[in-house]
A and B are shown apart, each in its own frame.
Chain A
Amino acid sequence: MKILCTVKRVTDYEAKIRLKSDGSDIETDGVNMIMNPFDEIGVEEALKIKESKGGEVVVMSIGSDDSIQQIRSAMAMGADRGILVRAEADMDSNTIAKIIGKVVTEESPDLVLMGKQAIDGDSNQAAQMLAENLGWGQATYAYKVKIEGEEATVTREADGGLETIAVKLPAVITTDLRLNEPRYASLPGIMKAKRKPLATKTLDELGVTPTNYVVMKGLEEPPAKAAGQILPDIATLVEKLKSEAKVL
Chain B
Amino acid sequence: MTKHLIIAEVQDGKLHNSTLTTLGAASKIEGPITALIMGASSNEAATVLKDYAAKTIFVNSSALNDRLAQPYAKVIAEVATQEGATHVWHGATVAGKDIMPRVAARLDAGMASDIQEVIDGSTFKRPMWAGNIIGTVEVTSPIKVITVRPTEFDKAVGGVGGELVEANIDAGDSSMRFVSFDAVKSDRPALGDARVVISGGRGLKGPEGFKEIVEPLADKLSAAIGASRAVCDAGWVPNDWQVGQTGKVVAPELYIAVGLSGAIQHVAGMKGSKCIVAINTDEEAPIFQVADYGIVADAFKAVPELLEKI
Chain A residues in the interface with B (C-beta under 8 A): 11, 13, 16-17, 19, 26, 92-94, 97, 119-133, 136-141, 143, 153, 156-168, 171, 176-178, 211-222, 225, 227-231, 233-235, 237-238, 240-241, 245, 247-248
Contact = CB atoms under 8 A, between A and B. Distances in A.
B117 to A, nearest CB: 11
B111 A234 contact: no
A178 B233 contact: yes
Contacts of B229: 177
Contacts of A168: 175-176
B133 A219 contact: yes
Given A125-B104, A158-B181, A138 B138 contact: no
B174 A137 contact: yes
Nearest to B135: A219
Nearest to B129: A17
Contacts of A218: 135-136
B240 A161 contact: yes
A229 B294 contact: yes
A183 B180 CA distance: 30
A97 B105 contact: yes
For the complex of A and B, 9 pairs with smallest distance between CB atoms: A213-B110, A137-B175, A128-B101, A132-B105, A129-B105, A132-B102, A168-B175, A125-B101, A161-B183
Contacts of B137: 214-217
Contacts of B232: 178
Interface of B is mostly: mixed
Given A128-B69, A167-B176, A218-B136, A143 B290 contact: no
B181 A162 contact: yes
Interface of B: 11, 68-70, 73, 93-95, 97-102, 104-106, 108-114, 123, 126-141, 174-184, 190, 192, 196, 229, 232-233, 239-240, 245-246, 253-254, 264-265, 271, 274-278, 283, 288-297, 302, 305-306, 309-310
A157 to B, nearest CB: 6
Given A143-B239, A231-B293, A238-B306, A122 B176 contact: no
Contacts of B264: 13, 16
Contacts of B275: 241, 245, 247
Given A13-B265, A234-B309, A132 B179 contact: no
A240 to B, nearest CB: 6
A219 to B, nearest CB: 5
A213 B146 CA distance: 13
Contacts of A125: 101, 104, 111, 113
A44 to B, nearest CB: 15
Interface of A is mostly: mixed
A25 to B, nearest CB: 10
Contact of B254 (A13, A212, A247): A247
B175 A167 contact: yes
Given A122-B128, A248-B310, 17 more contacts: A13-B264, A97-B105, A138-B176, A143-B239, A153-B179, A157-B239, A164-B179, A165-B177, A176-B246, A215-B137, A220-B136, A225-B289, A225-B290, A231-B295, A234-B302, A237-B306, A247-B275
A37 to B, nearest CB: 9
A26 B69 CA distance: 34
Nearest to B301: A234
A231 B47 CA distance: 49
A143 B305 CA distance: 39
A225 B108 CA distance: 39
A162 B104 CA distance: 26
Nearest to A181: B233
B245 to A, nearest CB: 7
A65 to B, nearest CB: 24
A214 B129 contact: no
B267 to A, nearest CB: 10
